[in-house]
Amino acid sequence: MAILGIIGGTGLTQMQHLNIQKQSRIATPFGEPSAAYVHGELYGNEVVFLARHGNPHTIPPHKINYRANIWGFKELGINDIIAVAAVGGISAEMKPAHIAIPDQIIDYSYGRAHTFFEDDLANVTHIDFSYPYANLLREALIGAATQSNLPVSTQATYGCTQGPRLETAAEIRRMHQDGCDLVGMTGMPEAALARELGLNYAALAVVANWGAGLQAGEITMVEIEQNLHEGMANVTRILEMFIKAY
Q: Residue numbers of the site for ligand HPA (CB under 6 A)?
A: 86-88, 161, 166-167, 183-185, 208-209, 211
- Smaller CB separation from ligand HPA, 99 or 185: 185
Nearer to ligand HPA, 80 or 167 (CB): 167
Nearest 10 degrees: Cα torsion 178, 184, 186, 192:
-30
Angle made by CA atoms 198, 199, 202, in degrees to the nearest 5: 135
| CB-closest chain residue to ligand HPA | 88
Query: Which candidate, 15, 63, 12, places its Cα nearest to that of 38?
Result: 15
- Which segments of the chain are extended strands (E)? 4-8, 19-24, 37-42, 45-51, 80-89, 99-100, 104-107, 152-153, 157-160, 182-184, 200-210
Q: Given the complex with ligand HPA, which of 91 and 209 has the nearer CB atom?
A: 209
What b/e readout covers 72-108, taking b as 16+ CB neighbours within 10 angstroms?
bbbeeebbbbbbbbbbbbbbeebebbbbbbbbbbbbb
Q: Is 240 exposed, middle or buried (0-12, 13-18, 19+ CB in 10 A)?
A: middle
Q: Which is nearer to ligand HPA, 75 or 223 (CB)?
A: 223
Q: Which is nearer to ligand HPA, 5 or 89 (CB)?
A: 89
